[in-house]
Each structure stands twice: as C-alpha cells, then as structure tokens.
Structure 1
Amino acid sequence: MKRPGSVRAPGAARAAAARTHNRRGEGGRLREEIIDAAAELLDETGEPHAVTLRSVARRVGIATPSIYPHFPDRPAIVLAVVQREFAGLESSLGAAVERAGGDPRQRLLAICATYLDFAGCHPRRYRTMFGGLWVPPPGDSSLTETDLVVLGASCLLMLIDALGDCVAAGAATSTDVSADATALWAGLHGLAHQRLVSPSFLWPENVPERVIGSLAHLTAV
C-alpha cells in the first residue's frame, strides 16, 4: 500500500530516482536539506500548512517516502524548523550579551533589542515559532508535550539571568525575577507581534525602552 503523497510528477520522480540512496554518512545531510526546504516554504508563504510532505519532497528532489526515515509526519518537520530557529535566536542573544560587556543593564537591553530585531528580520519564521497554529491536537501527531514545553526555554532563562544580574547590581527593583522576566518577554512578544501586523502604524521611537524599563523595573540611570 502506498503512503499518502507517494504519487509524484515524472520530473519529481526522475529527481527522486537520482537521490534514492544516500551514501554512508549522508543521511544527516538529507535531514538538514528537508529542514532547509521547509524553512524556505515558510519564508515564501508564511503559512505552516504550506509545509507538507509532498511540497518538501518536491523541493528537495526526493520521493515523499524518503522523508519517513528522518521525520514521521509533517508536524515533526515544522518542529525541527522551529527548534533550529530557537537555537539561532539563542545564539544571537548570547552574542549580544558578549558584545554588551560587563554592565548588567546593557546586557539586558541587548537581549531585548536583539529579540525584537530577530522578529523583525524573520517575521514569518517568528510567527511560526510563537503562533502555535502548526501544532496539531494532542495525540494526532508524533509530537509530545515535552517537545513543545521546552521550545524557547533557554532563551527565557537568559532573560531571567540577565534581569537577576540587574537586581543584584541595583539596576532593577524586581522582587520576583522569574515572573517579571516572563512578563518582560510577554511585553516584547506583544510589541514584536504588533509591529509585524501593523506596519503602517507610526510607533514612537522610545516604545521599546518604555516596555523594557517598566516590566523589568529598571532603576533610573
């Protein structure tokens, strides 16, 4: 019995035939190509549902069943894209902290600015990372609750640590660092989202500073 999506056009069939077998050690490369293709589809369409087994296979140039050794279903592919994007965001935040130097306030501000820049530079991937529209009902895919709960956890921890450093240095007056860092993330996310969906709105230049200063309980400079 054929798996769904196994029928393909002759051109796709020829491309797939050329890639039917990976040489030893090339399976990891094909997995990355599948993720790349899914990310490209997201960039082009902005719709997680545009990422299907058939559309990804067509772009990579493989037979649809060739995806199954690497991903059991469509949500697993989108999850891999989202995981890679969060890893990229975490790396960018870490680099921003390093550039900011030893001042805790500047490190926190660098994290926040980098977060907003990431959302602005990668709007469609950002919406997929935080939109949740691609997540199927529980039990309808290979995804587990753990797969979803840990998404972005490392990035939030960086924000918590940065705010904690500000409190220790007397640069913030938060009495519940974890809760206030979570509120700060929610504020940043809301601002990032509204910037994406309201591009014609004339945002005052100091809105990010107002959001960060208020939610992080920063002290006056």
Structure 2
Amino acid sequence: MTEGERSEGIRIRVVRVRNRRGEGGRLRDEIIDAAAELLDETGDQHAVTLRSVARRVGIATPSIYPHFPDRLAILLAAVQGEFTGLERALGAAAEQEVTDPRRRLLAVCETYLDFAEHHPQRYRMMFGGLWAPTLEHSSLTETDLVMLGAPSMLVLVEALDACVAAGTVASDHVSADATALWAGLHGLAHRRIVPPSYSWPENITERVILPLARLDAA
C-alpha cells in the first residue's frame, strides 16, 4: 500500500501545541486573529462561531471560554484590535508632520482613507457593516460600544485643533467640526470599498477633506 493509499480518507485535524505556563495571552490573541481572518475570508460575521474559531486555532471549543464568554465578545475584541491599529496608523501620520499643522491634518485624513482601502472587510466590521453588536444576551456593555474608535477620533480632533491654534482653520467648535470631517471621510471610505459602480473624480479626496476641514480657503 502506498503512502497516498494509506492516507486516503483520513481527516486531517489541526492540533495546536499547548501553551507553556504563563502563555495564555498568546491563545487569546490567536483566537482574535482567527476571528478577523474568518471575517476577511467570508465577509460574514455569522461565519465567526465558537466552533469555527476553535477549528481555525486548532483547539477544542471549550478552550475558548476562559478567554471569551461568547462569540460577540470575540468579535468585540477583534474590532478593538483593528481600532488600535487605526489609531497607531493615524498617530504615526501625525508624528511625521510635526512642523506643519495643515499637512499633518491632511496626512491623518489620507491615512484614514488608506486604512479603509487596504483593509476593506475589517473596516466594514469596525463600523458595524459585518456585525450587529447588541447588549441583550451578551457579555457586551454600553461602555464597550461607546468607546470604540474614541482614541482614533482624538487623533483627528488634535490635528484639527493644531490647525486652529496655528490660524490655518477658523472653528468655534473643534470637536463638532472634527466629527463632521470624520463623517465625510467615513462616507467616502465606505463608498470606495464597495463594488465599484461609479467613476470617482481624481481629486475627490481633496474635494471632501478641504471644505470639511475648512482648509479650502487656506
């Protein structure tokens, strides 16, 4: 009997090497990564189940419970991880333009749009396009949902506020104007990652950012 004949019909199961003592955090990260990968591949939050995540990681389903009480908690952790990545990307863009507030704000806005373009499924997941977080029958709290994206928004607020301080932008309510700017960025980002059905003008990014940031007159 050949090797191929002996292996025919045998179901291959991924077996994960057991963590050493003190490495439980690594398993938690692997669970989150598995959920994000399933969302990337399927575009369907219903594909993220305790069983599918466990299979992807190579563990038994009950092994998830010491880290997450339910699938929504896993999805929330995945979303929080993506927002952390967005915050870091925006922060890095802001730090590259420390001397020119106007260029710093533009860099933050363009980085936001680039993030959505390069991570379309995860971006949709972050803003509820792939999952519907609810508080009923889940481990989620209202604070969990309210705080999603707050640090990323703060980077945008600070970049706009620096423009106001430099006299580049006139604003009597920086937070409100930053929210309006984010709404424009989000709308453009979302429309650009859905199947293309419209030919966008080449300068659509500037047409959205400059008026909303009040930089068009600068």
Letter in 1 for 2:179: T
Q: Distance in 2 between matches of 1:170 and 1:64?
A: 57
Over residues 129-154 of structure 1, what are the superposed CA-to-partner deviations in whole Å (9 max), with x where a residue is unaligned?
Answer: 00255234322200001111101001
Name the counterpart of 2:115.
118
Q: Provide structure 1 residue ranges, at least 5 long, that are not aligned to the other structure.
A: 1-9
Name the counterpart of 1:60.
57
Name the counterpart of 2:141.
144
Q: Does 1:75 align with 2:72?
A: yes
Taking only aligned residues, the RMSD between alpha carbons, in angstroms, comes to: 1.8
Paired residues of 2:124 and 2:130 also in contact (CA < 8 A): no
| Residue 100 of structure 2, aligned match among 88, 103, 109 | 103
Q: Provide structure 2 residue ranges, at least 5 long, that are not aligned to the other structure.
A: 1-10
Paired residues of 2:102 and 2:163 also in contact (CA < 8 A): yes
Q: Distance in 1 between matches of 2:69 and 2:121?
A: 24
| Residue 190 of structure 1, aligned match among 187, 192, 208 | 187
Structure 1 residue ranges (4+ consecutive) displaced by more than 4 angstroms after TM superposition: none
Paired residues of 2:39 and 2:47 also in contact (CA < 8 A): yes
| Residue 39 of structure 2, aligned match among 38, 42, 54 | 42
Shift of 1:58: 0.4
| TM-score (norm: length of structure 2) | 0.90
Equivalent position SS for 1:164 = helix
Shift of 1:198: 4.3
Aligned length: 209
Q: Distance in 2 between matches of 1:204 and 1:103?
A: 27
Q: Distance in 1 between matches of 2:130 and 2:123?
A: 12
Q: Distance in 1 between matches of 2:133 and 2:82?
A: 20
Letter in 2 for 1:69: P
Distance 1:219-1:170 versus aligned 2 partners, 3 A rule:
farther
